[in-house]
Structure 1
Amino acid sequence: ARADIVIATMLFMEDHFLPVLPALRARRDHCDAMVCLMSATEVTKLTRMGKFDMSGRVSGPMAFLKKLRGKSTADVNTSPEDKSSAGARQMKMLRRLPRILRFIPGTAQDVRAYFLSMQYWLAGSEQNMVNLVQFLVERYATGSRRDMRPRCVVGAPLEYPEVGVYHPRMKQRLSASVADLPLVATTGQRGTVGLLVMRSYLLAGNTGHYDGVITALEARGLKVIPAFATGLDNRPAIEGYFQRPDCQPVIDALVSLTGFSLIGGPAYNDAHAAEDILARLDVPYLAVTPVEFQTLDHWGASSRGLLPVESTMMVAIPELDGATGSMVYGGRGSASHVRCTGCAKACTFEAVEGSHDMQTCSERADALAARVGKLIDLKRSARAERKVAAVIFNFPPNAGNTGTAAFLAVFESLYNTLAAMKVQGYTVDM
């Protein structure tokens, strides 16, 4: 590694950070600054910015900041309301900290620079990324690079809605008000879909995978509310745009396009909190997957499909929340313009070399829209008209084992289920 200023972010998984950890450690004491944000402890401790060194004992400004942090949301005594608002409180504190530290001399100024760097990164628009680099160069460039400092024009972190709605046809693309959604998103008569998308992709303008799904859903006569929240806790978006004040849902189906769990993302998940808010919504919930760690053409040509890490983070963990219907709907395009062989369309995903921007798999996006439409049609239909299939134990097959699962009253349970369904309005002849 030869970089003079090193920025490392989102390195949570051992498969990702262990290969680069030796290079980071080797470069740490020889670069002008190393800024490690939102990563595993092994990576974060490598942060070194001026007098601020995370590898040492916590003291001074950092000890003071720990006192301001408040109680953890992992505390079993923390109320659901407190857990739901924890992300908002943390973001509020993140904005306040630089203002507090501004008046404390010494190491506190480098701690302030660390939190300002995090502000730039979390609101990761192109302009904020430019300002982040200029900010670090202006403050930490040394040696022959010190002459670059006066040439840096640093702007304050630009702020964007922390919770809001998105649509590719909105002039400003992001808004805190659902009333700003264009007519094409709000005039469908078939039902309403709540879409969860990631704010980081929106700020980066890397939204091709989301845009294709939005278009496919609208083409099938569905209203679409694409919403986002800061961080990886989607409850503020759900509570703000998919529910009325009395907690009644305004959507007929919930679809997460994030590829991660409903609450927690790739590093952890809070399945109990997800269960609570999904139970209140009481609508079909699908969590679908963009391929993040390979390109779409690689995925299309692969006999394996998803990589193990993708299957774990993007399929298995969301299923713990109660998600169903996992499928790929898009992912990273290939700058080599290779034709995808995943279906007969043989798409070529246009991308700038080295960018690997996100793209929609149009065949899968259309299949997803069809699936969501049918789920909404089913949800809106009269219960007496629905056809329900029951699958019961029968293994090994053709050996008289139907309904013989050990210690389970299969037929009694099936009878009780049918009786309960009849009470709730289903047509059942018993």
Structure 2
Amino acid sequence: RVFSNAEGAYGANVNLMIDTGAWTDPDELADSFERQKGYAYGIKGAPVRQPDVLKAALQTVDCAYQNLESVELGITSIDQYVDTLGGISRAVTRAKGGQTAPVYIGDQTQGVGKVRSLQEQVALETRTRVLNPVWTEALLRHGYEGVRQIEGSVTTTMGWSATTGEVDPWVYQQISETYVLDAAMRERIAALNPKASARVANRLIEASERKYWSPDAATLAALHAASDDLEDRLEGIVAVAA
């Protein structure tokens, strides 16, 4: 069978839950995926809600696979991949009683095909995009929107931790050092987009609270201090030097 949304609906809402932080247990993400995508499309073409059939199908999944659609967009660039691929991965893990199914990413965007594990793909994109000064500077030239895209990448990366657990802890450590703990960079992105810069700091703290990485006490304290400073700026409590 083919499963998707009800007519007129779109997405699994997993990305929205991750963005808002409106969940406590990963099974809530699986619930959202199954609720939104639990409509079977049979030979008559009309969707019929079939939650039990979907659960039975999820129990048989051996792996999940996604082709990249563009060299410009990776799995950490936009949240649609984590919404669908991440959502089904979380649902499969629950359906199989906690047994995970490997997730693979197919990259044929530059002619020569390459298949990587999700963990490898996240690590590659982190190094070549979020931690790459050339990528960062190109985005910062776009000001407000550039910082928003950086924040979106950080949030989507955490989404992969939430749905698959396949993000190495060093990813969060190095993002912290690059965008929050570096005072000069923190000042730059705060000046361009105060809200998104605060969300970067808060997302890294959230990732720590959800046990996706374990920063040392000094790093965690510095993140909290930076977050407090950025939040104060948003509320107009502190003056920013010209």
What is the TM-score with the length of structure 1 in the denominator? 0.17
Structure with higher helix content: 2
**Greater relative contact order (CA < 8 Å, ≥ 6 in sequence):** 2
